[in-house]
Chain A
Amino acid sequence: GAVVSQHPSRVICKSGTSVKIECRSLDFQATTMFWYRQFPKQSLMLMATSNEGSKATYEQGVEKDKFLINHASLTLSTLTVTSAHPEDSSFYICSARDSATVHGYGYTFGSGTRLTVV
């Protein structure tokens, strides 16, 4: 089945630094990927839709200059948290849609990245 790999699984960074998270579709091409954030005991919140070769579409309230998304190939999207602060500490999850599947097929999620900003 379709597999989405996220790296790193855990990262600790100092306040003010930037962190890059990678999301790869391992055995399929994904023209569209999605980035979510999840705080403890809460549901997943969609941050942005990442489109290959074009600018990402951000959800309302998500700062595009803080959360930089690049989707330069059909198998890789990256999320960079710039000038991270402790309140950015969260669980970040990506998902991808197999471009070759028919309408209605489900999306595949990565295993998530736990970001801790100290």
Chain B
Amino acid sequence: ETGVTQSPTHLIKTRGQQVTLRCSSQSGHNTVSWYQQALGQGPQFIFQYYREEENGRGNFPPRFSGLQFPNYSSELNVNALELDDSALYLCASSPQDGDNSPLHFGNGTRLTVT
């Protein structure tokens, strides 16, 4: 059973640029959630995708957007990067929304904005 994989592992961007982060969900999981974890803080919910549709969003501006593909993999896109976007971005998958199965997390993408 393949777990959640994220790419790239590290990324350095300049303020104002755009970035795309990728996530492959665990086999059999159709729900993907994205979290932002700033240094020294807990993960903050960005949004969730279920069957290719956004299914809930946290308190993040519209320049944070995402996609989910038919194979349930997902992308997180961030436009007009700001210095405060520097963080560890975590992807998590679960079998289905509304189920009490726990999230399975990837190891994250460390984004640094300079």
Please indicate whether A and B come from the same complex rather than being unrelated chains. no
Binding site for A on B (CB under 8 A): none
